[in-house]
Amino acid sequence: MIVGIVGGSGLYQLGNQTGEDLKIDTPFGEPSGPYFRTKLGSHTAIFLPRHGKGHVYSPSEINYRANIYGFKKLGVEALISISAVGSLRKEIAPGEFVLPDQYIDLTRGYRANTFFGGGVVGHAPFADPACHSLREHLSAACETLKIRCHSGGTYVCMEGPTFSTRAESHFYRSWQLPQGMVSVIGMTALPEARLAREAGMCYQTVAMATDYDCWNEENADVSVEAIIKLLMANVDTSRLLVSEVLSKTFPSCRSHCRELMKSAVVTSKELWPASKREMLGVILN
């Protein structure tokens, strides 16, 4: 299997593996940087730093469509997204990992969030946005490495780049969902997860809590310096997790992520504009 890894804040290179940089042209412009292809275990791994090397793109500036298109063009079937987040629950302590299975989108429409449009209409199923099989695989790897990990939970994706007000932070925590309180807040999981679904990829966020957000009066002063300090301490742990995951055989996808788009396109193919045919040929495979 070809596995993609998106590196979030602090994770700008996968490790010291030998490999090759790949520059991919896309119909949507340039991705965040060159992709790095290497071999880990029996799998091919393709890594891309989401914010670019040196962290030059804010969450709203990331070219999510180009990033996902490039992964798809390189044959990626499963995508592991590593992301820094704030914790909205006391029991999720800074330094712990969360594997969310749900998302709430609070971005503001600045980010292009679909490959469709322009003459081709498609509606991706998104009720269960994360891959159950991939989440179980990551959870098992965390257990092997003795990483404190919470499997499942809801990720609130805000626009940023400023952090929440205290009122907003308490407001998010007040939401009571059937599965309980929301879990974490971040800025990058969407539209990344939506685009991965349209591209037929298994997708799972590995959310690393760096702080309690500003709802926690005992730790209310959230600073970039404090977040980065804790995040960098977790970078090596996230690399170990990726290595452990890729050292094992990937389970078959019981979530059927690669089959959900089979009936999603409602525009007859003979009506597709020529400009869309090649692009969707890559995305829909």
Across residues 192-218, what is the average pLDDT? Answer: 94
- Tell me the pLDDT band of 221, cut-offs 50, 70 and 90: low
Q: What residue has token string 């969310």?
A: 100
Chain mean pLDDT for the chain: 94
- Tell me the pLDDT band of 232, cut-offs 50, 70 and 90: confident
**Residue 211: active-site member:** yes
In one-letter notation, the amino acid at residue 267 is T
- Model confidence at 75: pLDDT above 70: yes
Cβ atoms of residues 24 and 31 within 8 Å: yes
Across residues 183-210, what is the average pLDDT? Answer: 97
Q: What residue has token string 């205290």?
A: 166
Q: How many separate domains does the chain show?
A: 1
Cβ atoms within 10 A of the Cβ of 266, count?
10
Cβ atoms of residues 199 and 67 within 8 Å: no
pLDDT at 17: 85
Cβ atoms of residues 50 and 13 within 8 Å: no
Q: For the chain, give the number of residues.
A: 285
Q: Over pLDDT 90: what percentage of the chain?
A: 86
- Write out pLDDT tens, residues 268-284: 999 999 989 999 999 99
- Tell me the pLDDT band of 1, cut-offs 50, 70 and 90: confident
Residues β-bridged to residue 120: 117
- Model confidence at 225: pLDDT above 90: no
**Which entry of 25, 101, 128, 213 is annotated as an active-site residue?**
213
Supply the range of the domain harboring residue 69.
Answer: 2-284
Pairing mode, strands 102-106 and 154-158? parallel
**Could you tell me the two tokens for 60?**
């709203």
**Residue 128: active-site member:** no
- Write out pLDDT tens, residues 163-177: 999 999 999 999 999
pLDDT at 118: 95
Q: Is the dihedral of CA 4, 242, 193, 213 positive or negative?
A: negative
- Write out pLDDT tens, residues 39-74: 998 899 999 999 999 999 999 999 999 999 999 999
| Cα–Cα distance for residue pair 41/31, rounded to 1 Å | 26
pLDDT at 267: 97
pLDDT at 223: 67
pLDDT at 220: 54
Nearest-CA neighbor of 204 among 76, 81, 42? 81
pLDDT at 251: 86
Report the helix count and the strand count for the chain, using DSSP H and E.
6, 13
Helix pair 189-198, 64-73: axis angle to 10 deg: 40
| Cα–Cα distance for residue pair 80/143, rounded to 1 Å | 17
pLDDT at 78: 97
**Which entry of 105, 128, 211, 236 is annotated as an active-site residue?**
211
Residues β-bridged to residue 6: 48, 81
- Write out pLDDT tens, residues 78-113: 999 999 999 999 999 999 999 999 999 999 999 999
> What CATH number is given to the structural domain containing 175?
3.40.50.1580
Across residues 208-229, what is the average pLDDT? Answer: 78
| Cα–Cα distance for residue pair 232/167, rounded to 1 Å | 29
